[in-house]
Copies of this chain bind each other. A is one copy, B any other.
């Protein structure tokens, strides 16, 4: 495969030529010092800026199918009368269709990786392979929600490392402490260690979860994880809304990752994750959208703005800078799931990026490109998206997008 050269693209403050060799950025030079490459595809990027693509560290992709379904219904009724009965009907094919809609939406909004906790994982893996992005696919563990047979299948699947590839990783995902028996959660921890998987779970999302944990175990969910030996730099927790000071110290000591999902936490009335305090405790923080059912989109730019604004709400001093916020949504999400050298535009790093139209009215004027991108723009400013050295969106177009949308519409019509 020949090289690709992005010519005359704005990188930070310099008009640059960026060479992509295979799946990496191999050389970055100012366009003034343009070099010649044999057999390279030259792409004129005048008027475009390059920025890192997004890594969505927690979602449930196929829940695009329940976007806006029974919104404004109280939580228990919402789950019990709407979401769970709907999910019970979903076949592997439905989940493939919902995942494809999710991946389309992610690409359109600049995301090239997602961590997915859902069911019928092979349907989602197939979509990720086809559509050219990356994912950490959860083998979702819950002996409360699944049959003994399915549970054993999950552990076998993990033993066999089924379907892992250059762009697809598996992750052990015990759903939560309240949807697993102690034995099953501990078995998840054990297999993650043995087979060197990342362990991902919902943790300290609601005050109810924390209170119930106290009643049952006389400690916080984080303390329980510590007691069970789960905490390490391969432990990635979603939500982390109700962390105590001790919880934060436990996370910080071992390099465990906190994935915050502010839109979802607000929407479900779970509270506001304290991003400033997590960062002050030197915890590695990444960003996720959660599922489209509680957001109701998968737009990491919007999530990034929300996270940034919430760090300032009562004190606009520069505690968390715009560059810190961008990092949560890019590099940190990749690192959380063991994807090395991803989320920056640097030589030797993975060729994942977005190209932004600098003539989009919300990128103008450009006193600061990162500030404009986080707080000013929206997905309309994205011209192209690249993952692993290949374009997954070009000039605003994703292959097959009309069919993906039509198929999702038909699927939901059939299910309702």
Contacts and interface: CB of A to CB of B under 8 A. Distances in A.
Interface of A: 64-75, 101, 104-105, 108-109, 263, 265-272, 292, 295-297, 299, 302, 305-306, 309-310, 312-318, 321-322, 359-362, 364-368, 371-372, 375-380, 401-402, 404-406, 408-409, 411-413
A317 B73 CA distance: 7
A295 B408 CA distance: 34
A86 B292 CA distance: 41
Interface centre among A68, A270, A292, A413 (most CB of B within 10 A): A68
A405 B108 contact: no
Contact of A405 (B312, B318, B364): B364
B375 A378 contact: no
Contacts of A105: 361-362
A318 B269 contact: no
Given A314-B269, A318-B73, A368-B71, A378 B378 contact: yes
B379 A378 contact: yes
21 contacts: A64-B365, A66-B367, A68-B368, A68-B372, A68-B375, A68-B376, A69-B367, A70-B367, A72-B371, A266-B309, A267-B375, A268-B316, A269-B312, A269-B316, A271-B314, A295-B375, A297-B375, A359-B402, A361-B404, A361-B405, A364-B408
B409 A269 contact: no
A90 to B, nearest CB: 13
B72 A365 contact: no
Given A74-B316, A312-B267, A297 B377 contact: yes
A71 B314 contact: no
Given A269-B314, A378-B378, 15 more contacts: A67-B372, A68-B367, A68-B376, A71-B368, A72-B318, A74-B316, A74-B317, A108-B380, A109-B378, A296-B376, A297-B362, A361-B404, A361-B405, A364-B409, A365-B412
A67 B412 CA distance: 41
Contacts of A408: 364-365
A380 B366 CA distance: 21
Name the residue among A309, A366, A406 with the largest chain B CB count within 10 angstroms.
A309
Contacts of A402: 359
Number of copies of this chain that the complex holds: 2
Among the interface residues A65, A313, A372, which one has the most CB atoms of the partner chain B within 10 A? A313
A72 B361 contact: no
A405 B64 CA distance: 35
A196 B413 CA distance: 53
Contacts of A310: 266
A268 B314 CA distance: 8
B101 A364 contact: yes
B267 A297 contact: no
Given A68-B368, A70-B367, A380-B380, A315 B269 contact: yes
Contact of A361 (B267, B296, B359, B401): B401
Contacts of A109: 378
Nearest to A71: B371
A194 to B, nearest CB: 39
A371 B322 contact: no
Contacts of A404: 361
B266 A313 contact: yes
Contacts of A366: 68, 409
Most B CB within 10 A of own CB, among A292, A364, A375: A364
Given A364-B101, A380-B379, A404-B361, A313 B71 contact: no
Nearest to A368: B68
A317 B269 contact: yes
B267 A365 contact: no
A296 B71 contact: no
